[in-house]
Amino acid sequence: MTDTVFYAELPWPEVEARIAEGAPVFLPLGATEQHGRHMALNVDVVLPTGVAERVARKVGGLVLPAVAYGNRSQPRTGGGPGFPGTLNLAAHTFALIVRDIICELHRQKVRKIVTVNGHFENIGPTIEGIELALDAIGRDRTDGLVILRIDHWEMVQPATLDRIFPEGFPGIELEHASVLETSMMLALRPDLVDLSRATDDGPAAFLPYDRFPKPCDEVPPSGVLSMTEGSSAEKGEWLLADSEAGMIAAIEREFSRGPRT
């Protein structure tokens, strides 16, 4: 039991001791959202949780239960609300969840927090949740609290993208349920991927603006915004290695400075 990095799998004296030792605490932020016909709805939960687990093992950290619901899926980044299965939170609901968890961690004397995001639409509400937490705690009463907000895909090196996409990277916005997410899922949870169900109906040709209410007629019917062809567990491991290395570097850089006043 005691070698787990999952916060909620530990009894309270162990959690108390690891926090007292200065363990960074990771909060995976996900979504329950369609990811094509070939993958489960929980891709945006599995990926940040998997990356956080690997990093936590290296740095002596703890991984919180993920927030498994995300801010509203948008057609241009996640397929939008037109797909069966996707469950959305309003932005302010999501921001308040983030705020409350950070305030609770601060009350438990955690001073090193890393939010690890797996869902594009969570970015704005996560920033708002962090700001609301700092407002609630009091910006001059944080007692050395440092919060890092990381999108796992931002840790991927350009050289790795060049290896995966020798013809040129289609762009991160179109990567929903496509080669990057599919490859990382093949590395972490191949049981949740069935490539034989993937259909080639992309890439999406989005207009450079949003339209409300949102007809999703530019979204490929499969829900894959770009393509799945060329996905592999090996490529997934390259991507996960980049995410792990990038996060460890960020943690060493930011948490070794000591509290900044």
Active site residues: 33, 35, 44, 119, 121, 176, 181
Q: Choose, by CB under 5 A, the member of 30, 78, 202, 246 that binds Mn ion.
A: 78
Q: Which residue is nearest to Mn ion (CB)?
A: 119
DSSP 9-66: GS-HHHHHHHHHTT--EEEEE--B----TTB-TTHHHHHHHHHHHHHHHHHT-EEPPP
Return the structure tokens found at 120: 């594009």
- Give the span between the Cα atoms of 58 and 41, in whole angstroms: 28
Contact between 44 and Mn ion by CB under 5 A: the answer reads yes
- Give the span between the Cα atoms of 43 and 45, in whole angstroms: 5
Closer to Zn ion at the Cβ: 52 or 105? 52
Binding mask 153-192 for Zn ion (x = CB under 5 A): ----------------------------------------
Closer to Mn ion at the Cβ: 31 or 56? 31
Contact between 119 and Mn ion by CB under 5 A: the answer reads yes
The listed partner (Mn ion, Zn ion, none) that binds 59, CB under 5 to 8 Å by sort, is: none
Least distance in Å: CB of 103 to Zn ion? 28
Beta bridge partner(s), residue 29: 67, 117
The CA-CA-CA angle for residues 247, 253, 259, to 5°, reads: 120
- Give the span between the Cα atoms of 258 and 171, in whole angstroms: 36
- Give the span between the Cα atoms of 7 and 26, in whole angstroms: 9
Contact between 28 and Mn ion by CB under 5 A: the answer reads no
Residues 34-93 that bind Zn ion (CB under 5 A): 43-44
The listed partner (Zn ion, Mn ion, none) that binds 242, CB under 5 to 8 Å by sort, is: none
The listed partner (Mn ion, Zn ion, none) that binds 43, CB under 5 to 8 Å by sort, is: Zn ion
**Residue 103: its H or E element:** helix 91-107
Question: What interhelical angle do 43-59 and 179-188 show, nearest 10?
Answer: 60
Least distance in Å: CB of 18 to Mn ion? 30
Contact between 29 and Zn ion by CB under 5 A: the answer reads no
Give the binding-site size for Zn ion (rule: CB under 5 A).
Answer: 2
Positions in the binding site for Zn ion (CB under 5 A): 43-44
Positions in the binding site for Mn ion (CB under 5 A): 31, 33, 44, 78, 119
